[in-house]
Amino acid sequence: MSQTNADLGDSESGGHEISAAATPTEQNPAMVILAIDDDPGILGFYKAIMRGMGVRFESSTDPRQAMDLVAAHDPSLVILDVTMPGLDGMELLHRIKSRDPQTRVVMITGNYMIDMAVKAIQEGAIDYVCKPVTAEKLRELVNRVRTLITQEERTRTLVRELAEVSNLEGIIGRSPRMLEVFDLIQRVAPHFRTAVIIGESGSGRKTVARGLHNLSPGKNQRFAVFKSEFATENPVESQPSNQGSGGFTGAVVREAELFESAIGGTVFLDEIGDLSGATQLRLLQLLDQAAAKEASSPLAPQEELRVIASTSRDIQAETQSGRFRADLWYRLSMVQIHLPPLRERADDILLLAHHFLTQYSAQYGKAVRRMSLGAEAVLVAYSWPGNVSELANVVGRACMLAEGNVLDCGDLPAGIVLPGYGVDVLGSSGRGLSLPVGQKSSSTETLRQKVRDMLEHDRDERAT
């Protein structure tokens, strides 16, 4: 086990962690710097420089503890020595970037080799620095990362604000298709009596129905759900009703009483394409009765009834084949809301994923704060045949399994990760390149030149 706040003299046995004690102005700092180096003297130097910079400094002389420390502290910057006994810095770099490509890593070496530097940059290191590391260079690295954190926090704030304006009564989206849906819902909600929501299974039809209800004049009244699989055609299964069901008895009581109970509010008929012919007829009769009552005299708001149906089928085609009653379809479909599948609203995938991440992280009592770039790329690349419901289940499961602060590819089901998928993310400092998996030597010389430029700049800094 590593020992926090260990005396430098005890580090010769290896594996001890050195934490810079925070001054009063460094309580709850935004940045955590993790350094892994088998030389306790160098760690002591880092600690001295970090003190007073408003960061929390964690370190260890044992590279085998590195991944545990990364998981525990979610560092803003990792400083790795290239050459260490037991586990070298290049292998650690690979493991760290595989876990979360967004983690920033700086490699420190006492033996400059251009090929090693190129490999480090290809693996995603944001810098490759030769020893001895100057105080100025160390401060420059910390300040560069601090600037990046500030920029990222601004971006996260904008994303949160965007999520707020992209949420209409629980319906989340910012893609052009969903903005059209939002506009239609807002325009028809004050006036509709019947509406149909058309969309694939899992696309969020019930959520849209609730949103339409919540924006209607009956928002404070009941939202009653009728599921076709519970409809029965056997009158013996229900008892006759004596409570004003208009003469309906047996199974009909179920639909009639549902309509009665939702007066002033909304009845939601889920998946009308599955309704039997007899149930279709009963619903048509109930709608006719409601329409006749409304036509005979103006209704007070508490007497109005709204009906929203949903379907994943092509009902118009089924009316032509006789499978679905055309008169019922015409009665229900005064307003039609077409809900696009998730694969046609790719702009919404990460917006929804981060919404579910926040929801399930709180539900499961987890400290998952964000997703890795790799996990985000996997989610965007997947086709989502199960639509929003499938995305919610995937993120929920991943939150349940996640062990650290970052939801990563390893937390996602293997079935949604494309075969051979990988991502290399090089730092956000402006020097980095994004390389597809399997990038060949055509880019190697470019990387070599970038590394030479970095090292020459570093030497010039030390010379001055």
pLDDT over threshold 80, residue 111? no
pLDDT over threshold 70, residue 141? yes
Strands 266-270 and 223-227: parallel
Q: What is the DSSP string of 327-354?
A: HHHHHHTTSEEEPPPGGG-GGGHHHHHH
Domain ranges of the chain: 8-153+440-463, 176-339, 344-426
pLDDT digits (tens, 9 = 90+) for 339-387: 999 999 998 999 999 999 999 999 999 988 888 877 888 899 899 999 9
pLDDT for 404: 78
Residues 6+ apart with CB under 8 A from 359: none
pLDDT for 359: 92
Alpha-carbon gap, residue 56 to 70, rounded angstroms: 13
Is the separation of the CB atoms in 450 and 427 below 8 Å?
no
Q: Which CATH class is domain 8-153+440-463?
A: alpha beta
The domain 344-426 having CATH identifier 1.10.8.60: the answer here is yes
Strands 77-81 and 55-60: unpaired
Element of type H or E holding 407: strand 406-407
Alpha-carbon gap, residue 199 to 71, rounded angstroms: 41
Lowest mean pLDDT among 101-115, 205-219, 386-400, 409-423: 409-423
Q: For residue 155, which phi and psi values (nearest 5 degrees)?
A: -65, -45
Ramachandran bin of 387, using left for φ above 0, alpha for ψ from -120 to 50, beta for the remaining angles: left
Q: Within the chain, what is the greatest distance between any pair of CA atoms?
A: 98
For residues 404-427, average pLDDT: 65
pLDDT digits (tens, 9 = 90+) for 190-228: 999 999 999 999 999 999 999 999 999 999 888 988 876
Residue 453: pLDDT band (50, 70, 90) is: low
pTM attached to this predicted model: 0.61
Share of residues in the chain with pLDDT > 70 (%): 72
DSSP 3-state of 408: coil
Residue 299's identity, in one-letter code, is L
pLDDT digits (tens, 9 = 90+) for 274-331: 988 988 998 898 888 877 777 776 665 556 788 999 999 999 899 999 999 999 999 9
- 318-345 as b/e: b if 16+ CB within 10 A: bbeeeebbeebbebbbebebebbbbeeb
pLDDT for 454: 55
pLDDT over threshold 70, residue 418? no
Cα–Cα distance list, 117 to 139, 142, 224, 447, 451 (Å): 21, 20, 65, 9, 7
Same fold, 176-339 and 344-426: no
pLDDT for 386: 95
pLDDT for 430: 28
Q: For residue 268, which phi and psi values (nearest 5 degrees)?
A: -110, 115
pLDDT for 97: 85
CATH superfamily of the domain spanning 176-339? P-loop containing nucleotide triphosphate hydrolases (3.40.50.300)
Cα–Cα distance list, 175 to 163, 345, 394, 400 (Å): 12, 6, 21, 29
pLDDT for 4: 35
pLDDT for 227: 74
pLDDT digits (tens, 9 = 90+) for 7-45: 323 333 334 444 444 343 334 456 899 999 999 999 999
Question: What average pLDDT does the structure give for the chain?
Answer: 77
For residues 72-80, average pLDDT: 91
